[in-house]
Structure 1
């Protein structure tokens, strides 16, 4: 009887913990979705209506009409996020392969340095990054964001790929080299396909980081035509007005691409995170 109570108690605690995590993750998004479907009159009605009584899509239309550059912001975010993701994966793949396979001296020190480099708050790096981009003449361009995003994504992407590359038997690579593959050919034809879950995991993390980033996008690209979606949404706020329903609609539009990507690749992402944790 005591064992059953203990198991029930442990199961109850696990369920409660999982419920807290789910509510904490989904409640803000659901609240924003409901807000985007309300009129401004209903939004400020008392008592508060948690569910929209008369759902409307006018806020989504207004989000595009009231801000003529909304499509430009979306395009900029897509271009920057995709370029940063692709470049991050390419550079991280070479770095991870070198760490996992080559006989590097003080390899553990290199891994420690990679981990340490990802712990600096972004605000402390803002001034050096800004000065570097200004010296290169890259301000108000895609490169002004892509290059810093790649640098910021590299530690995580490299660590994820290292754990997968280390789990692949060297015999497979040796067999490929005997058949005439070069090191690059082995990486491209053998290692990366076998590490597909890790590649997808690193790619999703890099894409989400680049898509959601606000501070650098606000500081490095000041012209309206080069702003990304997170920064562009702030332009809906007026001096004396704050149109919450329209802003919520724009936020939902910004969330949709990330949600679609994660929904499509969720099995690979979860498998990649789990396998990476076990193999690392």
Structure 2
């Protein structure tokens, strides 16, 4: 019995290890490629796991010549602003849906979720025309259409967490003279911290990685975010894969650190709201 159990554990460990290797391998290979020269990437050493002559040239080129750090700053500004905006709007919307009783609440939630299923290509044209008329092209106002990516999911996550908070707490706050806004900011949001935290992380990562809206609305290089800047790492005839790999390794580090540091909070925020106590 013990032998069969050990075999089962061993088999499970092998499967999990293989799955993790498959998931990590693309980033690992990109990281290795970033230390290869162009000749090694396209030559006989293309499939060599350890570079024959490791070089930092790709990193120095994108940091000091291509100035990828400007795109990193743009991505940080846009992602952080989008996160703050989405948390603010999603909190108000989720609180209204959770606490107010009105007809069609379920239909409204379904419509909110349905919006997130629309392909980005559908809204890109109308958003471009709107931004052109308002004079908002090549600006940080791109955070407004960014919110269409994660706002529906943020509302859903926060609604499930707000529903778990007893109404008695709000009634006590009302008796003490608290307004609706004070109740939301000082009682509801702190108690729903896992959901708020999860929404913030998902929004930040989605905005950090967004490509289509930025390349459409912000054509000037000064407003390019990281994904767009990486797409322009090419010369007249080919893609500069070494520089692309180095840039990818650099810009992946922030989101990787966030996920590794706060993975427990992310899982807690995604699952705790779905369990009825």
> TM > 0.5 between the two?
yes
2:65 is the counterpart of 1:71: no
Q: Does the 8 Å contact 2:116/2:148 carry over to 1?
A: no
Does the CA contact (< 8 Å) of 1:200 and 1:265 recur in 2? no
CA displacement 1:54-107 (0-9 Å, x = unmatched): 433222111123314x22211111111110110000000000011111112211
Please point out which of 85, 88, 107 is paired with 1:87: 85
| CA displacement 1:132-165 (0-9 Å, x = unmatched) | 111221111100x100011332101100111111
Q: 2 CA distance for matches of 1:139 and 1:233?
A: 20
How far is the alpha carbon of 1:185 from its aligned partner? 0.8
* SS of residue matched to 1:31: helix
Q: 2:197 aligns with which of 197, 200, 204?
A: 200
Q: Whole-Å Cα distance in 1 between the matches of residues 217 and 182 of structure 2? A: 38
- Tell me which residue corresponds to 1:170: 167
CA distance in 1, matches of 2:91, 2:19: 32
Distance 1:207 1:140 in 2: 21
CA contact (8 A) 1:163 1:279 kept: no
Question: Cα offset for 1:229?
Answer: 1.1
Q: Which moved more, 1:58-67 or 1:106-115?
A: 58-67
Q: Answer yes or no: is 1:233 the counterpart of 2:234.
A: no
Over the aligned positions, Cα root-mean-square deviation in angstroms equals 2.4
Aligned residue among 7, 11, 33 for 1:35: 33
Q: Does 1:108 align with 2:109?
A: no
Q: Is the 8 A contact 2:35 2:55 kept in 1?
A: yes
In 1: Cα distance, 2:274 partner to 2:9 partner: 24
Q: Is 2:251 the counterpart of 1:254?
A: yes
Aligned 8 A contact 1:39 1:245 in 2: yes
Number of matched pairs = 276
* Aligned residue in 2 for 1:130: 128
Inter-partner Cα distance in structure 2 for 1:255 and 1:125: 27
Q: Distance in 2 between matches of 1:159 and 1:248?
A: 36
The match for 1:187 is 184
